[in-house]
Amino acid sequence: MTASSFAFEPWANTHQQRIEQVLSGVLPTDELLPERLHSAMRYAVLGGGKRVRALLCYAAAKLVGTDIIAADTPAAAVELIHAFSLVHDDMPCMDNDDLRRGKPSCHKQFDDATALLVGDALQSLAFEQIAASQAPQALIQVQVLAQATGSRGMCGGQSIDLQSTGQHLSLAALETMHQYKTGALIRAATMLGAYSAASTDHALLMTLDQYSRNMGLAFQVVDDILDATADTQTLGKTAGKDQAQDKSTYVSLLGITEARTLVRKLHDDTMQLLSSYDQAADPLRGIASFICERSF
Amino acid sequence: MTASSFAFEPWANTHQQRIEQVLSGVLPTDELLPERLHSAMRYAVLGGGKRVRALLCYAAAKLVGTDIIAADTPAAAVELIHAFSLVHDDMPCMDNDDLRRGKPSCHKQFDDATALLVGDALQSLAFEQIAASQAPQALIQVQVLAQATGSRGMCGGQSIDLQSTGQHLSLAALETMHQYKTGALIRAATMLGAYSAASTDHALLMTLDQYSRNMGLAFQVVDDILDATADTQTLGKTAGKDQAQDKSTYVSLLGITEARTLVRKLHDDTMQLLSSYDQAADPLRGIASFICERSF
């Protein structure tokens, strides 16, 4: 089977609109006390982003045969965690970035204290939503998402990143950092979709685990390539930051050409991994191509 | 039944030592990557504090008849959330406080970015621990703790507090703020203990809910009294901050005498509430007296 008959863009658009609605329903309205905090939470989450993590969750849920409604909550939860991380990353004590998704970042639009609380409250909301869903595997979902978020996941990756700025990392150290910083949440997004079924076949879990690891790595290499080659307007965030901050990246370590070769290899491996699955795997194939082809 | 035959201090000491050990086991060692983050997480959580929230959890678990082992994880989770909130509250963009539990606060001992990540990772760890415990009511525990932490709980209370500094709040507005800011987590600590049983009787849940609401309010009124009357060394944190920051407090609104009368009434109401329970309620009575008597 190939992805040739599957139209990824309409599928992605449909699911991007769907997750936007789900997120809007999940976030407290800004008429509810505390209004300013709720307003800032909505600002930070809604109306932007490619929603790659939600798409991964929906696509994995499709492969394991879950009704789409069961994937709404985990997809929203992982987007809430992602949004929280962007808000905190942009703060002056971290990356100090004024621009996010083409708009002023949350602490610029509101203030630093509000941005801090926005991130904190978005994290709680993610776990609250999963717990409230009462899904058959909700407890596993909480565990997977919490591990991916914490000190041995996203937050840990940020910490390694901070300590390594200005230092020249080995490729192995860079991979570890990104497995934590970006890979863990990409993986969690996929596995939350896998665990949206009442039970999940072990072989499928193994396939999705490998898929998500490939995508986590590809995502970061592509990000480094785009940071080095695209302009700020195209990215919707400040371009060329890695070089300006003297960060080790896949581009600085491998060069552009070899970084692109790595992405192509990850793409091909992923297509091979999914080759025995029928059209239920089309969205996963479509996302893999979408992530990788941005850098080709 | 009365609490007269029950020695609160030995009970509290035993359980404070117990939660310290549980927390030490739950926190990743600082030999594990990322070492600096893990070291800062341990610094922020271990070796200080009265552990009132853990004690509430253990005491509630005792009333509902749970084995103490089943209360360890929820007690640790609520202390992790509390520690995360202290780390973020102390940061320059929030209360900008250099002192906590008699030591330099986390961002002073480490740095602002690390403190931000410490708080984020402690929150994840709390939910990860509950989910991993596989307790019969773990999903309810996640939900209760997440609600108490988020925008309609602790984080929301902080947000209201920030917006109201320099403004003179009504008593009703002050109560709402504190219900969110402090009361929600005090309540969650108690209810997590209640939900540590395989199932919990409805009447007991109602009693513990009322108990925790009384304690949440008492705790804050006492805190305001101590801030106005004790010195920095006694408190282990900067004293007189409320007045310096022109904050509305129970003391500024009611005066010291009436604030103390309110605490005494909450204490008496709570003893009345628990009067039909046998010695299984002794720890809850002991905590109530401990919280309230600090201000007498």
ipTM score of the complex?
Answer: 0.94
Q: Which residue of B has its CA nearest to A90?
A: B113
Q: Which residues of chain B are within 8 Å of residue A180 when distances are taken between CB atoms?
A: 34
In a domain, B249, yes or no: yes
Among A144, A159, A162, A195, the residue to mutate for chain B (most B Cβ within 10 A): A159
Question: Phi-psi category of B53—alpha, beta or left, where left has phi over 0 and alpha has psi -120 to 50?
Answer: alpha
| Alpha-carbon torsion (B252, B94, A41, A119), positive or negative | negative
Cis bond before residue B34 (omega within 30° of 0): yes
Please give the tally of structural domains in chain A: 1
| Alpha-carbon torsion (A143, A149, A155, A157), positive or negative | positive
Among A42, A155, A174, the residue to mutate for chain B (most B Cβ within 10 A): A155
Q: Which residues of chain A are within 8 Å of residue B184 when distances are taken between CB atoms?
A: none
DSSP H or E run through B103:
strand B103-104
Instruction: Give the torsion through C-alpha atoms of B117, B118, B120, B124, to 10 deg.
Output: 130
CATH code assigned at B125 = 1.10.600.10
Q: Which residue of B has its CA nearest to A85?
A: B120
Q: Do A114 and B162 touch (CB under 8 A)?
A: yes
DSSP H or E run through A189:
helix A184-194
Q: Does the pLDDT value for residue A265 go beyond 80? A: yes
Q: Do A147 and B163 touch (CB under 8 A)?
A: no
| Helix residue ranges, H only, chain B | 8-26, 35-45, 52-64, 68-90, 106-109, 112-133, 138-149, 154-164, 171-178, 184-194, 202-229, 232-235, 241-244, 250-254, 256-273, 282-293
pLDDT at B1: 45
Poorest-pLDDT segment among A58-72, A160-174, A226-240, A241-255: A226-240
In a domain, A94, yes or no: yes
In a domain, B76, yes or no: yes
pLDDT at A173: 81
In a domain, A254, yes or no: yes
Q: Do B124 and A123 touch (CB under 8 A)?
A: yes
- Strand ranges inside chain A, DSSP E: 99-100, 103-104
Q: What is the pLDDT of residues A139-172, one digit of tens each?
A: 999 999 999 999 999 999 999 998 887 778 788 8
Residues A61-68 have a mean pLDDT of 95
Q: Does the pLDDT value for residue A207 go beyond 50? A: yes
Rounded to the nearest integer, the mean pLDDT of chain A is: 92
Q: Do B160 and A120 touch (CB under 8 A)?
A: no
Q: Along the 296 residues of chain B, how does pLDDT read in single tens digits?
A: 444 579 999 999 999 999 999 999 999 999 999 999 999 999 999 987 899 999 999 999 999 999 999 999 999 999 999 999 999 999 999 989 999 888 999 999 999 999 999 999 999 999 999 999 999 999 999 999 999 999 999 999 999 998 887 778 788 888 889 999 999 999 999 999 999 999 889 999 999 999 999 999 999 999 999 988 877 666 666 777 777 777 788 998 899 999 999 999 999 999 999 999 999 999 999 999 999 998 77
pLDDT at A45: 98
In a domain, A3, yes or no: no
Q: Are A196 and A58 in contact (CB under 8 A)?
A: no
Give A175→chain B minimum CA distance, Å: 13
In a domain, B3, yes or no: no
Q: Do A159 and B34 touch (CB under 8 A)?
A: yes
Nearest by CB to A127, which of B127, B156, B158?
A: B127
pLDDT at A235: 66
Q: Which two tokens stand for residue A212?
A: 């998500």
Give B141→chain A minimum CA distance, Å: 9
In a domain, A2, yes or no: no
> What range defines the domain where residue B287 resides?
8-293
Q: Do A34 and B159 touch (CB under 8 A)?
A: yes
